[in-house]
Structures are given as structure tokens and as C-alpha cells.
Amino acid sequence: MLDNLGASLKDAVKKLAGRTVIDRAAVDELVRDLQRALLSADVNVKLVMQLSQAIKQRALDEEPPKGMGAREHVLRIVYQELVHLMGTPGTVTLEPQTILMAGLQGSGKTTTTAKLARFYQRKGLRVGVICADTFRPGAYDQLKTLCDRISIPCYGDPYETDALKIVREGLPRFRKVYEVIIIDTQGRHALEDHLIEEIININEISHADHRWLVIDAALGQQASEQARRFHEAIGIDGVLVTKMDGTAKGGGALSAVAETQSGIAFIGSGETSEDLERFNPDGFISRLLGMGDLKALVERVEEAISAEDVDVNAMLKGKFTLRDMYGQLETVNRMGPLKQVMSMLPLGGMQIPDDVYDITSTKMARYKVIMDSMTPSELDDPSIIGSSRIQRIARGAGVPPEDVRELIKYYKTMQRALKGMRGMGGKFNMQRMMKKFGRTP
Ligand code: GDP
Ligand code: MG
């Protein structure tokens, strides 16, 4: 999803992270890179200019908070301004509710109705769906087929031509049995008075708690026009942006919708009923910037480990001995699969060699035995381990010398990867970053 935008934003951030000094020229270059990235994702020029202005001004005028370097300061501003561009997300509650779906034909209303039904079903709510699309041939069958697949009841009548009648009859019945009721409606190819009139009427007789608008991400910045028109008609209180998987213009659509202040509630990125996710600007932007989902990491760290043995930061500190490696591997192992944890760290999009992840607990146990046969000076400075020491260590641990070599090779790979991270991030302080970015600005 948004691979191009993500890649170019990551590049911009990576470039900044690699700069030796963060001065006006560095900020200007960063802003130019961001502009290029956002404009090619079809973000509106005016919005891009506002964002550029805000970043420049804040980067140059604001003092970095105590203990924060210039680089982190600028990155944090970029992150915050991008999150700001995405607006306030639409509210989603798990209470009993009636949701009216609006949108043009082809925007993905019917598909998204089924996705939403699945979302609430997974949350343990009883969900029923009503097909009030009497315009498109086969509308009922389409919705019914999707609903059958996920065992969701679907009310409708393929031979009825009056959508209001269906809602009037179906709603009271469904309200007796189901907690969440989603009404799928018709759409036309363009906004027409008749369509608007019908949706206003359905809204009135259904007393819907939410009026959600489904918008195709491929519209890019034009999405704002549709959002505005539907909002004027029925007061949209949440937007679902669909087809994020199939377009490079998603950034434009999201920012355009955000600008109309009708919060984005969900994004859809595929044709199955599972391809829906809650829209969360923090996580979304972190992922785009390659900073990973820092919130998730912070939570995971808090859950899995007690405070005293969390020192992810030590992994990035200057000296990295075999002892450190073992301690860190043990810690990280408790946090979950190494690869997953690493993917959540703010590495500015840096690639970690795959063999770093290639460590299992069996292997770790073997490494431990081997390390027990090493002398303290070998553990502190593995570079002194030559072939005669390897022979001795192997004999002591009762393993073939290849195993010792493998351990040393693993250590070196890890060390290289960490050096890369340090070079990349300059004075990146992981824990500080996690604290700062983990919080909603
Ligand atoms: P409606 O006319 O607004 O009800 O739109 P539909 O739900 O019938 O969807 C129109 C087309 O878009 C169908 O072929 C869907 O499979 C497809 N579609 C809907 N949402 C998505 C999405 O998030 N990703 C992709 N790739 N296709 C989607
Ligand atoms: Mg439909």
C-alpha cells in the first residue's frame, strides 16, 4: 500500500539521517524531497505548501526539546506534520448502532459493507446487513454472496424497486435481533440530485447513528469534492477510503478527505472481507516513514519485559561485545521474533541482512555453551580469537570448531548491522525516540 510514497519518504528521511550537520540547507533539501514525494502521490499543492512551510519554520525556529539532537528534532517535526496532514481519524465505537453507507457506484460500498460487517463480527457483535440498493442489477445477490461467506445475515429483495420500503420493513426486524446494522445503498456514476435525495430520505427514516462515505483512493485529491457534497447532504461522520492497494494516489485521497474534516475511519486495501483496517494516522505515517510502529513496540516491550532488563538502546551503543550480543539476543527473544521486533524499530528504512534474523533458541543455547568456554578477555574482545583459540573453545564446549566459527561469524554480521544503524541514525537514541514518537503529538 502506497509503496512509492513510502519509498520516497523513507529516502528523504534517510538522507537527512545521513547528514553530518542539520542546517538550513539540510532542511531545505528535506522539504524539497518531501514535496516531490507528496505531489507525486497527488497530494494537493496547497496542502503540500502548508506542510513545507510548517516544517521549515518549526525546524528553524523551535528549540529542540532538552536532550534531543537536531536530527531527531527535525524528524519528529516531519512526522508530526505528516500525521497532522492525515487529520483526526473518524470515531469507531463498539456499541449497538446503525450505519448508513454512502458513495458513488463503483467506489466499493458493497464490498466495504461486508468488510465492516466482518470487522464488527470479529469484535463479538451481532451484525446484520440491509441491501437498499435497488438500482444496480444484481446488487442484492452481490451483497448476499459476500455476506454468506462470512455468515452474516443479509436483508433485501431483488424484485423490489423502492429502497425506502426495504429499509422501512427490514430495519425494525433486524433491530430486534442484531446490534450493528449496516445499510448498503445505491450509487450512480456521478453525483445526481436523485441519488442525493434518496440518501437523505434513507437517512431520515433509518435514524442512522453514522453516515459513512466510501471513497475510491484512485480519485486522489478529487476525493475532497465528493466528500464535501455528501457531507452537505447528510452530514458524513466518517470516511472509508477503499482500493488503497491499487493506486499511487492514496496519499492525495487521504489528505483531501482529511481536509474536509470528515475523519477517515477505515482504509480498504483488497477485495476480500478481511482487507480492512482501522485508520490510525500515527501508525500509518510511522509505517510510511519506515519508523515502524513505535507504539506497538513500546507496548510490546512493556508487556514482555520488566523495566530493568530493557535496553534495546545498548544494541546501538558504541561497544558491542559477545557478552552484549548474548544479553541482547536474550532480551529480544523475549519480545518476540527478532525480525518482527526489528521491523518496528526506527531504522529510517535501513535494511538488516537476513542472516541476522536467522537465530533460533536451539542455536542460542548452543552459543551459550560455547561462550561458557571462552575466557573473559575473549568475551570482551572477540577479535583476539584466532584458530588456536577456536580449537581450545570447541574442545571445552564439546562442539566441532565450525560451530565456534559460526558463532563468531554471527557476531560479526550483527556488529556490522549495528554499525550501519549507528552510521545511519547518527545520534539516534532509540529509547528517547520511542518515548517521543510513541506518544501522540
Ligand atoms: P459499489 O458499487 O460502491 O457497491 O462498489 P463494489 O463494492 O461493487 O466494488 C466495485 C469494485 O471494486 C469491485 O470489483 C470490488 O471488488 C472492488 N473493490 C472494492 N474495494 C476494493 C479494495 O479495497 N481493493 C481492491 N483492489 N478492489 C476493491
Ligand atoms: Mg454496491
Strands (E), 261-394: 264-268, 276-278
pLDDT score of 381:
86
pLDDT score of 282:
83
Please report, in tens digits, the pLDDT of each residue of the chain (441 residues total).
788 898 899 888 888 877 888 899 999 999 999 999 999 999 999 999 999 999 999 998 988 776 667 877 888 889 889 999 999 999 999 999 999 999 999 999 999 999 999 999 999 999 999 999 998 889 999 999 999 999 999 999 999 999 999 999 999 999 999 999 999 999 877 677 888 889 999 999 999 999 999 999 999 999 999 899 899 889 999 999 999 998 999 999 999 999 888 899 999 999 999 899 999 898 888 878 876 544 444 444 444 443 334 344 555 555 678 887 777 666 666 655 555 555 555 544 445 565 666 666 677 778 888 998 999 899 988 889 999 999 999 999 999 999 999 999 888 877 776 666 555 443 334 444 444 443 332
pLDDT score of 289:
81
Q: Are 1 and 244 in contact (CB under 8 A)?
A: yes
Which residues does residue 102 pair with via DSSP β-bridges, in sequence order? 213
The gap from C-alpha 334 to its chain's centroid, in whole angstroms, comes to 23
Q: Which domains does the chain have, with CATH numbers?
A: 2-86 (1.20.120.140), 97-288 (3.40.50.300), 294-436 (1.10.260.30)
| Burial state string for 71-105 with b = 16 or more CB within 10 A and e = fewer than 16 | bbbbbbbbbbbbbbbbbebbebeeeebbbbbbbbb
107 CA distance to ligand 1 middle (Å): 6
| Burial state string for 199-238 with b = 16 or more CB within 10 A and e = fewer than 16 | beebbeebebebbbbbbbbbbbbbbbebbbebbebbebbb
Q: Are 86 and 281 in contact (CB under 8 A)?
A: yes
pLDDT score of 260:
87
Q: Using the atom order of ligand 1, give the atom closest to the CA of residue 246.
A: 26
234 CA distance to ligand 1 middle (Å): 23
What's the per-residue H, E or C state across 156-225? CCCCCCCHHHHHHHHHHHHHHHCCEEEEEECCCCCCCHHHHHHHHHHHHHHCCCEEEEEEEHHHHHHHHH
pLDDT score of 286:
80
The gap from C-alpha 378 to its chain's centroid, in whole angstroms, comes to 43
Q: Using the atom order of ligand 1, give the atom closest to the CA of residue 106.
A: 2
pLDDT score of 187:
83
Taking every pair of C-alpha atoms in the chain, what is the biggest distance, in angstroms?
88
| Pocket-forming residues, ligand 1, beta carbon under 6 Å | 103, 105-111, 187, 214, 242-243, 245-246, 268-271, 275
pLDDT score of 196:
86
Q: Using the atom order of ligand 1, give the atom closest to the CA of residue 214.
A: 3
- The bound ligand whose nearest atom lies closest to the alpha carbon of 105 is 1
418 CA distance to ligand 1 middle (Å): 44
And the C-alpha cell for 367?
552459543
Judge if pTM exceeds 0.85: no
Which residues does residue 130 pair with via DSSP β-bridges, in sequence order? 155, 183
Best substitution site from 105, 111, 113, 266 to test ligand 1's pocket, by max atoms within 8 Å of Cβ?
111
pLDDT score of 194:
82
143 CA distance to ligand 2 middle (Å): 8
pLDDT score of 333:
61
2 CA distance to ligand 2 middle (Å): 25
Supply the residue whose CA is at minimum distance from atom 16 of ligand 1.
Answer: 271
And the C-alpha cell for 173?
426486524
CA 339 to CA 399: how far, in whole Å?
Answer: 28
pLDDT score of 174:
97
Q: Is the dihedral angle over the CA atoms 190, 195, 200, 203 positive or is it negative?
A: negative
- The bound ligand whose nearest atom lies closest to the alpha carbon of 216 is 1
- The bound ligand whose nearest atom lies closest to the alpha carbon of 272 is 1
117 CA distance to ligand 2 middle (Å): 15
